């Protein structure tokens, strides 16, 4: 009786055979390679364009012709990417859209970052996205970014991820004299103005110079990149955790890396798109920027380039944009909090997502009384349940955490506002927004299977 009446989550290992585990291990290797080359949104756009080109996608710009069968990518300022497989089906039936984001919390340089103090050269920073500040101290960091020099030259920086590179560092106080700090609440113990990135300590040879260490660092930057201090005014420099994605556990069932949120959804949305060759549907994969700061700006999900692209495809195929929006379906592909037994009290155990139980659907995100969320309707979730059941996709339902503890948002509500059916579906993550987050290899493969079924 219970078997028929009760909803029980399926553990992927117990439900699917050894072949699935093997497939997950192979898939995980591809994912790790993708991640290591995609630390920032700019890196991820470059990596994704390479993959898209290898699968026959060509660059699109507004004004170009579009026809059924085209495989296009639109590079929005090097920071967000839109891939479109134009289908042969009537466009008024709508598109299938999978939207994830490729920006991740990190430590950004301020506009006038470089200074010298106490025998060191540091960079002043502003953190990007929701971080627990203590997690970013005393870690090896890499610097990734882009500087536009006064002469207009573009200088790309990536230093700290190669084994032969130096790394960078935010200092922490030794425990021996940390009594005052240790008695403060965790959220107040670390000041954001103390998250200064250590850049060097060697003085320049000029004995008369003020700021000998700063001078030495700027001299080295000038020799390597041809930049001067003023060039930091037109620069995006991000400090991110140094190092590669690694397997976790004796059984290697998990992956630890920087930036699972949300590349763990971006990657399977790409692989599902590339697998959808036989599909007659028009499919759009969105890799958005700026989700971690509210989807703002002209590379965030709020930017109208999204509907402009839908409109360009619709016009080219002789459809109606109103019909296309009304009949499109979207998966807002973003991660959710995985149940962590070490902080069990932060979750509603009956409505949490669990490791190795498949890709997770969140009807709502937001905070408080469903504030700031796209609360997906029963009808759309019902449609997806049926689709996944027909395609053998293992998935689970669950939301972020216990009521009134906080919350989070995704791009879902910014897509739904265009009259598009949308629900959140993504991979459960342990230690979300930490410098190194953890996900399960079988869960990411379940995400791929779910997205592939959606694109069929
Ligand atoms: Mn996210
Ligand atoms: Mn996030």
Q: Which token pair is 31?
A: 């994912």
0.95 exceeded by pTM: yes
pLDDT at 1 over 80: no
Ligand nearest to the CA of 410: 1
Confidence of residue 4 (pLDDT cuts 50, 70, 90): confident
**pLDDT tens digits, one per residue of 296-348:** 999 999 999 999 999 999 999 999 999 999 999 999 999 999 999 999 999 99
Residue 219, preceding peptide bond in cis (omega within 30° of 0): no
Give Dmax over CA atoms of the chain in angstroms: 87
What CA–CA distance (Å, rounded) separates 236 from 415?
Answer: 27
Ligand nearest to the CA of 99: 1
Q: Which token pair is 401?
A: 């955490």
Q: What three-state secondary structure class fits 85?
A: strand
Ligand 2 center–CA 276 separation, angstroms: 28
What CA–CA distance (Å, rounded) separates 115 from 427?
Answer: 41
* Helices 441-455/378-390 angle, 10° precision: 100
Ligand 2 center–CA 455 separation, angstroms: 25
CA-to-CA separations, 213 to 22, 42, 86, 193, 313, in angstroms, rounded: 52, 31, 56, 21, 55
pLDDT at 105 over 80: yes
Ligand nearest to the CA of 262: 1
Ligand nearest to the CA of 106: 2
Ligand 1 center–CA 410 separation, angstroms: 6
Ligand 2 center–CA 262 separation, angstroms: 7
Ligand nearest to the CA of 102: 1
**pLDDT tens digits, one per residue of 344-376:** 999 999 999 999 999 999 999 999 999 999 999
Ligand 1 center–CA 217 separation, angstroms: 35
Q: Which token pair is 136?
A: 């970013």
Q: Which token pair is 155?
A: 């200088």
What CA–CA distance (Å, rounded) separates 430 from 427?
Answer: 10
Ligand 1 center–CA 262 separation, angstroms: 5
**pLDDT tens digits, one per residue of 386-404:** 999 999 999 999 999 999 9
Ligand 1 center–CA 285 separation, angstroms: 16
């Amino acid at each position: 009786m219970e078997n028929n009446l009760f909803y029980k989550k399926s553990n992927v290992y117990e439900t699917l055979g050894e072949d699935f585990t093997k497939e997950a291990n192979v898939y995980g290797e591809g994912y790790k390679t993708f991640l290591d080359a995609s630390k920032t949104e700019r890196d991820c756009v470059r990596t994704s364009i390479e993959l898209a080109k290898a699968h026959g996608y060509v660059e699109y710009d507004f004004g170009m012709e579009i026809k059924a069968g085209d495989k296009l990518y639109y590079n929005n300022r090097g920071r967000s990417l839109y891939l479109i497989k134009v289908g042969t089906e009537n466009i008024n039936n709508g598109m299938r859209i999978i939207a994830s984001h490729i920006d991740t919390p990190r430590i950004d340089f301020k506009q006038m970052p470089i200074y010298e103090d106490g025998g060191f050269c540091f960079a002043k920073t502003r953190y990007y996205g929701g971080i627990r500040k203590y997690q970013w101290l005393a870690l090896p960091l890499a610097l990734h970014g882009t500087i536009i020099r006064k002469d207009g030259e573009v200088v790309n920086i990536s230093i700290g991820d190669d084994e032969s590179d130096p790394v960078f560092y935010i200092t922490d106080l030794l425990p021996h004299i940390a009594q005052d700090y240790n008695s403060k609440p965790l959220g107040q113990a670390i000041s954001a103005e103390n998250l200064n990135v250590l850049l060097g300590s060697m003085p320049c040879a000029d004995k008369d110079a003020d700021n000998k260490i700063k001078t030495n660092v700027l001299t080295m930057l000038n020799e390597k990149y041809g930049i001067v201090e003023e060039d930091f005014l037109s620069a995006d420099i991000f400090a991110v955790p140094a190092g590669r994605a690694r397997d976790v556990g004796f059984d290697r069932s998990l992956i630890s890396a920087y930036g699972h949120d949300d590349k763990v959804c971006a990657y399977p949305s790409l692989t599902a798109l590339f697998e959808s060759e036989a599909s007659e549907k028009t499919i759009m994969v969105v890799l958005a920027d700026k989700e971690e700061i509210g989807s703002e700006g002209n590379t965030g999900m709020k930017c109208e380039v999204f509907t402009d692209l839908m409109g360009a495809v619709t016009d080219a195929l002789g459809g109606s944009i109103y019909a296309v929006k009304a009949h499109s379906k979207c998966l807002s592909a973003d991660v959710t909090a995985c149940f962590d037994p070490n902080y069990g009290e932060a979750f509603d155990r009956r409505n949490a997502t669990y490791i190795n139980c498949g890709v997770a659907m969140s009807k709502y995100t937001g905070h408080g009384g469903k504030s700031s969320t796209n609360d997906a309707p029963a009808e759309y979730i019902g449609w997806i349940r049926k689709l996944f059941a027909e395609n053998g996709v293992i998935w689970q339902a669950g939301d972020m955490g216990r009521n009134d503890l906080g919350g989070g948002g995704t791009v879902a509500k910014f897509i739904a506002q265009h009259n598009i059916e949308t629900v959140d579906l993504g991979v459960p993550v342990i230690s979300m927004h930490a410098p190194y987050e953890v996900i399960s290899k079988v869960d990411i493969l379940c995400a791929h299977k779910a997205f592939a079924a959606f694109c069929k």
